[in-house]
């Protein structure tokens, strides 16, 4: 009789507790701050209804090259209100600075996006490393820009300012490795034990976009 009574009490407690569990939200929060993503302090207020995803990358980062197909697939299905951009990081490395300067120069000359995949293929498929701005200028010339113009632009004040601004952003965002994704200047998502592969990394971004689009109250409730 005692065992039966105990089972009855336990079953009654579970049944009574079920509505309370449902009231907390039937849909669990799959990703958590501090585990799957980081909130960046002092992030500027964004434009309501619009989002920007930034990839901090380097052409000389093998992981960035591996990430490319995942990112390309995500971009094809991204929400229309999400703009995608890149920042080429330097991390104090001369070789990374060369390619970052080349990337910024290409962006200034409106050939950056067209040349991006070709650059990755040149470095990681063809295994052809370029070690000077002259070599980079020759590479980018195939995309319709004069090599001499590319070289001159790479030394310009505009490129220098953009490169410096980008590296300040890298520091402000707290980027310490590549690839890293920054959403709205507010959230940082990067590989970690909890974010074990690139599919999860992009799924975290989708989760954050949905959370932000839901409005402050729902986003706050999800965080709690």
pLDDT score for 214: 80
Percent of the chain with pLDDT over 70: 83
Integer CA distances (angstroms), 156 to 53, 108, 116, 139, 145, in order: 27, 10, 21, 19, 16
> Do 183 and 51 form a contact (C-beta atoms < 8 A)?
yes
Strands 51-57 and 180-183: antiparallel
Mean pLDDT computed over every residue of the chain: 86
pLDDT digits (tens, 9 = 90+) for 76-108: 999 999 999 999 999 999 999 999 999 999 999
Name the nearest CA neighbour of 207 among 42, 102, 79, 87: 79
- Identify the CATH class of 38-223: alpha beta
pLDDT score for 21: 28
Distance in angstroms (rounded) separating the CA atoms of residues 168 and 206: 26
87-91-93 Cα angle (round to 5): 115
pLDDT score for 19: 32
pLDDT score for 29: 64
Structure tokens at 20: 């309370």
Q: Model confidence at 16, in pLDDT bands (50, 70, 90)?
A: very low
Q: Whole-prediction pTM value?
A: 0.83
Whether the pLDDT of residue 14 is over 60: the answer is: no
Distance in angstroms (rounded) separating the CA atoms of residues 188 and 162: 21
Annotated domain spans of the chain: 38-223
Name the nearest CA neighbour of 95 among 68, 65, 63, 58: 58
> Do 96 and 58 form a contact (C-beta atoms < 8 A)?
yes
> Do 81 and 50 form a contact (C-beta atoms < 8 A)?
yes
Q: Beta partners for 182?
A: 54, 188
pLDDT digits (tens, 9 = 90+) for 137-159: 999 999 999 999 999 999 999 99
């Amino acid at each position: 009789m005692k065992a039966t009574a105990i089972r009855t009490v336990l079953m009654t407690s579970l049944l009574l507790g079920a509505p309370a569990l449902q009231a907390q939200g039937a849909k669990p929060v799959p990703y958590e701050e501090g585990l799957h993503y980081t909130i960046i302090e002092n992030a500027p207020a964004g434009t309501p209804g619009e989002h920007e995803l930034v990839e901090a990358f380097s052409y000389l980062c093998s992981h960035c090259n591996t990430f490319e197909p995942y990112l390309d697939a995500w971009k094809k299905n991204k929400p229309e209100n999400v703009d995608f951009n890149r920042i080429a990081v330097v991390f104090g490395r001369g070789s990374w600075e060369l390619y970052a300067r080349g990337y910024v120069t290409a962006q200034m000359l409106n050939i950056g996006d067209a040349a991006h995949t070709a650059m990755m293929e040149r470095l990681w498929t063809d295994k052809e490393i370029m070690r000077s701005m002259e070599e980079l200028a020759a590479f980018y010339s195939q995309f319709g820009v004069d090599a001499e113009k590319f070289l001159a632009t790479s030394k310009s004040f505009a490129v220098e300012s953009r490169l410096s601004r980008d590296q300040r952003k890298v520091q402000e965002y707290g980027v310490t490795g590549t690839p890293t994704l920054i959403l709205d200047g507010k959230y940082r998502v990067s590989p970690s034990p909890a974010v074990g592969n690139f599919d999860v990394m992009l799924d975290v971004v989708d989760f954050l976009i949905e959370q932000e689009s839901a409005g402050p109250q729902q986003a706050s409730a999800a965080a709690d």
